[in-house]
Amino acid sequence: MKIMVAIKRVVDYAVKIRVKSDRTGVETNNVKMSMNPFCEIALEEALRIKESGLASEVVAVSMGPAQCVDTLRTGLAMGADRGVHVEAAGQLYPLTVAKILKSLVEVEKPGLIILGKQAIDDDCNQTGQMVAGLLSWPQGTFASKVVLDKEKQLAMVEREVDGGLETLELDLPAVITTDLRLNQPRYATLPNIMKAKSKPIKKYTPQELNVDVKSDLEVIQVTEPPKRKAGVILSSVEELIDKLKNEARVI
Amino acid sequence: MIKLMDKWRITNHLLKHSSKLLFDRRLSANSHNSVFRSALECSESLVKRGFGNASTIRYRCFGSEATKFERNAAFSTLNSEDVSYFKELLGEKSVIQDEDVLLAANEDWMRKYRGSSKLLLQPRTTNEVSQILKYCNSRLLAVVPQGGNTGLVGGSVPVFDEVIINMGSMNNLITFDKGSGVLVCEAGCILENLVSFVDDHGFIMPLDLGAKGSCQIGGNVSTNAGGLRLVRYGSLHGNILGLEAVLANGDVIDMLGTLRKDNTGYDLKHLFIGSEGSLGIVTKVSIHTPPKLSSVNLAFLACKDYFSCQVLTYLEGVRNPFSSSMHNFYVLIETTGSEESYDREKLEAFLLSSMEGGLISDGVIAQDINQASSFWRIREGIAEALMKAGAVYKYDLSLPVEKMYDLVEKMRQRLGETAKVIGYGHLGDGNLHLNISAPRYDDMVISVA
């Protein structure tokens, strides 16, 4: 069984981000970019499934500008067998990504797709669900535990939901999106980095996959959240009541 | 600004008064002599073999093996009049006699040394420091300057009942020149706060150490702290452009220049850097900060033997010999540059060829900032981990790079099963942190060593 993992190149989680002066987005020039942490977890899970003998191959997919290849190389260094880069300029929204993934599924025919639950730059939390919808595949999102049953072609997924943990049984092929507690991703070791250099990365364009990248969404403005106003230290209860009555008007 | 003649006058003044300075030499029961003797032996054997520059190694005369010493009777004892004076001078809030606070301030980070001071002062200005010292000088009250109290060798706490002068309230950032990167701040600024501040402007501090969350820049300067960036940015002697300090009798000496090059008069600030508070209390610091480079790469490497580590003379060495993994040595290397992909390629090429050449047995490259932080946590947390493992005897030694590990092996031979010997430090600087970890503090370990 082949597993396809989608990985996204995002601004590194630990970077202090700034909004661009023209307010069209977040500053990404000269800023450290890395693999989305949830995608890392997705890839780690795919690798563990392969290492336990339940899958034959892990294919990492990334979409975007040329630098996505760096992220794919990291994925290959972690242990993915092959990479696929869909080169596209400009912003790709979840629906477009889902459509591209659907086209790739028709080419690669994986038995399982694993994605991160959301990307840390847009926090959309939509791609996994949309892919499952487009393919009419079952989905197990926010997975905190995944157990595969090869003979019965099932995936048992424990999900983190508001009320606690929910366990689902999905028929394969299926879509799983990963949550934080699923696993701890491995480091890229030097021997694997060396091996990754010779692993193939196939390139596509959205046109080749018959996907139109024009989106119905347009980001109009990005602004910083309003600065927290300084607190005021009051000198007496009377002053507090006065302020609550006359300034905040809550009593 | 002090003119040439003034500088000369002050030097004279310093030298004359240094013997009268309120100064504590710490000779604890954990005497350093045995280790230095071993270090001397290493140097000796080097000289005997006529090994290159070894003939220029000087022998230092270390103090006698005094295990007990007494409070100097010449110093006065604190009385209530003194406390009132300080309260009037500094205000009630800056004069602390609270037992809990004093308990913490009297004890060092390692929990090895404890003084019995009854008074903690927190001056907020240089003038207050000056008045305090003037008064203590006239009353012959012993004092100990204290910063973040993160020192690992007992230098920041009182031996007896010295008045603790804590610089933590003098934590203002005075100026920062965004063009030249020169930062002027008060001595009580916490290093990590300075790091965040200059980071916002695209600069970094030239020194970085595990204690950055609590250590203060005045303490760093007074102890000539090295840290994790020394091999790249040099020591504080090169990065500190100026200082303001208060001498033991209350005189304020203003050497707070901000110029990269200043050859006027005697460069007295160098005497203060590393003087550990014995010449005066540093109150303000002017430091040159290098620009922050955008691409940082971090690699954690494992080596089979010490010889291989040396050849990777990049930044620093990490060793964890008693780890359960197969490797004998670990090295953490950080590179900074302006272009990430180029730097990464260079680093990978170097590491891969080192691996093929057998210098490295295994290694990992951090893929994002989180991974990098966790690697650094391992290295920066060694001191903390050793403390939790039991009793630790610590020695900080500078040795020729190729001889750095010999001392560890020699101590291992001498101590056998009684204690574990851990060596880690800064490979690029030739700085070894020799640590002897025993289940508990035991004079026997010292006597064997």
Q: Phi/psi of residue B166, each to 5°? A: -95, 125
The answer to whether B359 touches B333, Cβ cutoff 8 Å, is no
Quick one: closest CA in B to A31, which residue?
B294
The pLDDT score that the predictor gives to residue B65 is 39
pLDDT of amino acid B350: 87
Question: What does the pLDDT average to over A80-104?
Answer: 93
Longest distance between any two alpha carbons in chain A, whole Å? 75
- What is the C-alpha separation between B328 and B310, in angstroms, rounded? 14
**What residues of chain A lie within 8 A of the CB of B349, using their CB?**
none
Neighbours of B151 (CB within 10 A): 22
Secondary structure element (H or E) that encloses residue A204, with its range: strand A201-204
In a domain, A250, yes or no: no
> Cβ neighbours of residue B288 under 8 Å, at least 6 residues apart?
B180, B181, B182, B183, B206, B239, B240, B241, B260
* Pair A26, A33: CB distance under 8 Å: no
Residue A243 lies in a domain: no
pLDDT of residue B448: 63
> What predicted TM-score, i.e. pTM, was given to this entire model?
0.74
CA B303 to chain centre: 28
Do the Cβ atoms of B364 and A190 come within 8 Å? yes
Q: What is the ipTM of this complex?
A: 0.79
pLDDT tens-digit series, residues A216-240:
888 899 998 888 888 888 888 999 9
Write down the pLDDT at residue B12: 56
CA–CA distance, B208 with A85 (Å, rounded to integer)? 39
B29 in reach of chain A (CB within 8 A): no
Q: Return the exposure string of B180-204: e unless at least 16 CB atoms fall within 10 Å of the residue's CB, then b.
A: ebbbbbbbbbbbebbbebbeeeebb
Q: Which of these, B444, B395, B440, B386, lies nearest to B415 by C-alpha position?
A: B444
Q: Give the range of the structural domain holding residue A42, as residue numbers without chain letter.
A: 2-225
Structure tokens at B256: 């707070």
pLDDT given at position B296: 82
- Run of H or E including A194: helix A190-196
**Whether B250 contacts chain A with CB within 8 A:** no
pLDDT, residue B339, reads 81
Residue A187 has its nearest CB partner, among B296, B301, B371, at B371
What tens digit of pLDDT does each residue of A36-85 get? 999 999 999 999 999 999 999 999 999 999 999 999 999 999 999 999 99
Residue A244 lies in a domain: no
Asked whether residue A194 is assigned to any structural domain, the reply reads yes
The shortest CB-CB distance from B367 to any of A67, A188, A194 is to A188
CB B144 within 8 A of CB B158: yes
b vs e for A52-67, b when ≥16 Cβ sit within 10 Å of the residue's Cβ?
eebbeebbbbbbbeee
* pLDDT for the residue B316: 34
Contacts 24+ apart (CB under 8 A), A144-149: A144/A179, A144/A181, A144/A182, A145/A182, A146/A45, A146/A49, A146/A176, A146/A182, A148/A49, A148/A54, A148/A112, A148/A172
Residue A14: pLDDT band (50, 70, 90) is confident
Report the residue from B348, B362, B368 with minimal CB separation from A13: B368
How is residue A15 written in tokens? 């970077």
Nearest CA in chain A to B350: A190
Residues B277, B283, B284, B290, CA torsion sign: positive
Element of type H or E holding A157: strand A154-161
Predicted local distance difference test score (pLDDT) of residue B153: 84
| Three-state secondary structure of chain B | CCCHHHHHHHHHHHHHHHHHCCCCCCCCCCCCHHHHHHHHHHHHHHHHCCCHHHHHCCCCCCCCCCCCCCCCCCCCCCCHHHHHHHHHHHCHHHEECCHHHHHHHHECCCCCCECCCCCEECCCCHHHHHHHHHHHHHHCCCEEEECCCCCCCCCCCCCCCCEEEEHHHCCCEEEEECCCCEEEEECCCEHHHHHHHHHHCCECCCCCCHHHHCCEHHHHHHCCCCCCCHHHHCCHHHHEEEEEEECCCCCEEEECCCCCCCCCCCCCHHHHCCCCCCCCEEEEEEEECCECCCEEEEEEEEECCHHHHHHCCCCEEECCCCCCCCCCEEEEEEEEECCHHHHHHHHHHHHHHHHHCCCCCEEEECCCHHHHHHHHHHHHCHHHHHHHHCEEEEEEEECCHHHHHHHHHHHHHHHCCCCEEEEEEECCCCEEEEEEEECCCCHHHHHHC
A45 is a domain residue = yes
Given this model, what pLDDT does residue B42 score? 43
CB contact under 8 A, A190 and B294: no
* A9 in a structural domain: yes
Mean pLDDT of A76-96: 93
- Say what the pLDDT of residue B8 is: 53
Within an 8 Å CB–CB cutoff, is residue B349 touching chain A?
no
Q: Report strand pairing: B329-337 vs B295-303.
A: antiparallel
Q: How close does chain B come to A16, measured CA to CA in Å?
A: 9
What's the pLDDT score for residue B445?
66
Nearest CA in chain B to A73: B367
Q: Which residue of B has its CA nearest to A68?
A: B341
Q: In whole angstroms, give the CA distance from residue A61 to residue A202.
A: 9
Q: What tens-digit pLDDT sequence spans chain B (449 residues)?
A: 444 455 555 555 555 554 433 333 333 333 344 444 444 444 444 434 433 333 333 333 333 334 568 888 899 999 999 999 999 999 999 999 999 999 999 999 888 899 999 999 999 999 999 999 999 999 999 999 999 999 988 889 999 999 999 999 999 999 999 999 999 999 999 999 999 999 989 899 999 988 899 999 999 999 999 888 888 898 999 999 999 999 999 999 999 988 888 888 889 999 999 999 999 999 999 999 999 887 788 888 877 766 445 433 332 333 332 233 456 777 888 888 888 778 888 888 888 888 888 888 788 888 888 888 888 887 887 777 777 777 888 888 888 888 888 888 888 888 877 777 878 888 888 888 888 877 777 776 666 65
CATH of the domain at A54: 3.40.50.620
pLDDT the model gives residue A8? 96
Nearest to B363 among A34, A70, A190 (CB): A190
B76: its two tokens: 């006065």
Best mutation target, B296, B367, B370, to test chain A (most A CBs within 10 A): B367
In a domain, A245, yes or no: no
A190: left (phi over 0), alpha (psi -120 to 50) or beta: alpha
A188 vs B295, B360, B364: nearest CB? B364
A116 within a domain of the structure (yes/no):
yes
Contacts of B90 (CB under 8 A, 6+ apart): B121, B122, B123, B124, B128, B132
Chain A contact present for B360, CB below 8 A: yes
| Number of structural domains in chain A | 1
Instruction: Indicate yes or no: CB of A34 within 8 angstroms of CB of B373.
Output: no
Q: Which residues lie across from A59 on neighbouring strands?
A: A4, A82
Instruction: List A174's β-bridge partners, or say none.
Output: A112
